[in-house]
Structure 1
Amino acid sequence: MIRRLLSLILLSTLEIPQQMSLHEAKLGDDVNLTCVKNNAEFSYWYKLNFGYLLETVAKGTYGRISLSGQFNNSRFSATKVGHVYSLIIRNVSKEDEATYLCHAGSVYEPEFINGTILAVKDPKTQLKSVTVKQTPDMESVKLGDTMTLQCSLLSKNENDTDQCPDEDKVHWFKGGSESHPGVIYHGSLRNKEDGRCDYSLSKTVTNSSDAGTYYCAVVTCSEILFGEGTKVEIGQKWDPVVIVLGILLALCVIVIVVLKHAGFLVPEYQRKHCRQQSLIQGLLH
């Protein structure tokens, strides 16, 4: 379990996938991991787990894909349908828990397409009395604002707060965005009472790459518990100059309407009549 979180931290130092997602499966499930790449000359699936070298799961050239080493068995299969590359793991076990990376492209332009953190839950050993909840589910912020996300460790026993992990055992990471997928954030403990431990992450939104889904990972009792994620969207922030100009324009329109109704503005037909009278008087003289 601890290896999975350490793998996340290791990813923060590597320039790899542009998209990272979390896939949770139950022990014995079948898992289908996919990535999309147009006109790829080659493709690779890698498995990354802390304490091990990067392992090649499958490799292919022009659509011909084969499994490598220990992965060449009935539980694993790799396919290509159109531009979609799939890695299928049947009857997943705890040993399959890792980060899986899709690497494809040409000899001159290879790239990591995406990465998937596979978490395998064992109902027999999973903590029943402790759950993790993230709030809010979605957060809409503007550039320059500070967003605050919360991760709560909830216990059925309201008097049990001794199991609250230290601050360095609660981590945040962001996935499913165009920014660096392995960025690890560290928050702080906000509350510790009534069987509840609240951790928060405050971050100033500086650019559009801060958008994405933020997950918290809590290490407690030799188990890693993941939150369901908070989706952060970046809204358009109005320029103060534009707002002021808009208000001034609206005031000008109001003033013109008021003056017109008050008789201070001479109607167009009256102006024409005055010009005609002046012209006639000029001819007479």
Structure 2
Amino acid sequence: MIGRLVPLILLSTLEIPQQMSLHEAKLGDDVNLTCVKNNAEFSYWYKLNFGYLLETVAKGTYGRISLSGQFNNSRFSATKVGHVHSLIIRNVSKEDEATYLCHAGSVYETEFINGTILAVKDPKTQLKSVTVKQTPDMESVHLGDTMTLQCSLLSKNKNDTDQCPGEDKVHWFKGGSESHPGVIYHGNVRNKEDGRCDYSLSKTVTNSSDAGTYYCAVVTCSEILFGEGTKVVTSIAVLVTLLIFSVLVNFGLIVSRKKKPTCEQSKGTVVHHISITPHLCVYTLIV
């Protein structure tokens, strides 16, 4: 019982990974997940599936690594080479689809290094009857404003709206940021009509760390479908980009003006003397 509580205590007392990535693999592929931690005395790999408790996949103590429970089989292996910790999953299946967290450190301090969302695609079902689309592709907002992102589950069968997953089956997360990407946001259902289920996420942008790419994930009866992502940028980031561009343009103009002018002699004119200053050509003519 104590062993089961440990992962929950870790999650409640430590910061979650600051790096969250999406890894797509085909059914039957071999997957290698890695994280880097210098001088780690302890290391853990956890599996977190939507709607389930955290599971310990592997744990290492002073270089000795062992697999836990159902993961102690030939498909799973964990290694440590130098500062690189690896979790290898062979012949991946739909059951392996989840978020995998790397947790490592010393007796004095441990932390979550990163997290990887593993999505397993079945080539036999490439022609999906259901797809996920996110809108807009990019959203520019001011600090203090509320952004609204939309995730739509589209079905070729217009009668499928009765099968729209509930709000608890639609998850939002932010990848590759300095804030809490491990925090999964939940939105609400906006519309159900003609083979279309619309979900939305409304969030107030309080600081620049809220910028990033937001993804939606819809849990269906057969698989987890991911959106392509919506990139959210703050107005400050846009202004900084424009300022840098303006500085570069002005710098180019200043440099070009410092170049000495080329004084050319007009045809048919007799020049007695030409005096050139940095910004002026003076011609003395014979009258």
TM-score bracket for the superposition, by shorter chain length: 0.5 to 0.7
Deviations 1:56-111 (Å, cap 9, x if unpaired)?
Answer: 414142xx352324544442333334433221111112332333221112211211
Match of 1:282 in 2: none
How far apart are the structure 2 equivalents of 1:204 and 1:103? 30
How far apart are the structure 2 equivalents of 1:157 and 1:12? 43
How much has 1:177 moved relative to structure 2? 1.7
* Residue pair 1:19, 1:175 contacting (<8 A) in 2 also: yes
How far apart are the structure 1 equivalents of 2:168 and 2:78? 38
How much has 1:154 moved relative to structure 2? 1.1
How far apart are the structure 1 equivalents of 2:220 and 2:31? 26
* Residue pair 2:103, 2:113 contacting (<8 A) in 1 also: yes
How far apart are the structure 1 equivalents of 2:64 and 2:140? 42
* Residue pair 1:99, 1:117 contacting (<8 A) in 2 also: yes
Amino acid at match of 1:131: T
Amino acid at match of 2:104: A
* Residue pair 1:147, 1:204 contacting (<8 A) in 2 also: yes
* Residue pair 1:46, 1:101 contacting (<8 A) in 2 also: yes
Q: Unpaired runs of 5+ in structure 1?
A: 1-10, 240-285
Deviations 1:110-143 (Å, cap 9, x if unpaired)?
Answer: 1111122223233456882111111233333332
How far apart are the structure 2 equivalents of 1:159 and 1:47? 35
Amino acid at match of 1:113: I
Amino acid at match of 1:55: T
Secondary structure in structure 1 of the residue aligned to 2:163 = coil
* Residue pair 1:57, 1:68 contacting (<8 A) in 2 also: yes
Cα 1:224–1:72 change in 2 (3 A) is closer
* Residue pair 2:67, 2:78 contacting (<8 A) in 1 also: no
TM-score of the pair, normalised by structure 1: 0.66
Amino acid at match of 2:66: L
Are 1:59 and 2:74 an aligned pair? Answer: no
How far apart are the structure 2 equivalents of 1:181 and 1:188? 19
Q: Unpaired runs of 5+ in structure 2?
A: 1-10, 240-287
Deviations 1:206-261 (Å, cap 9, x if unpaired)?
Answer: 0123123322122344543222322323341799xxxxxxxxxxxxxxxxxxxxxx
Amino acid at match of 2:150: Q
How far apart are the structure 1 equivalents of 2:64 and 2:228? 34
Higher radius of gyration, 1 or 2:
1
Secondary structure in structure 2 of the residue aligned to 1:185 = coil
* Residue pair 1:212, 1:231 contacting (<8 A) in 2 also: yes
Secondary structure in structure 1 of the residue aligned to 2:91 = coil
* Residue pair 1:20, 1:114 contacting (<8 A) in 2 also: yes
How far apart are the structure 2 equivalents of 1:41 and 1:236? 42
How far apart are the structure 2 equivalents of 1:138 and 1:60? 44
| Structure having greater relative contact order (Cα 8 Å, sep ≥ 6) | 1
Of 11-20 and 36-45, deviating more is 11-20
Match of 1:40 in 2: 40
Of 229-238 and 133-142, deviating more is 229-238
Match of 1:147 in 2: 147
Secondary structure in structure 1 of the residue aligned to 2:161 = coil
How far apart are the structure 2 equivalents of 1:160 and 1:13? 42
Secondary structure in structure 2 of the residue aligned to 1:199 = strand
Match of 1:115 in 2: 115
Of 80-89 and 197-206, deviating more is 80-89
1:153-232 matches, within 5 Å, as: 153-158=153-158, 160-221=160-221, 223-232=223-232
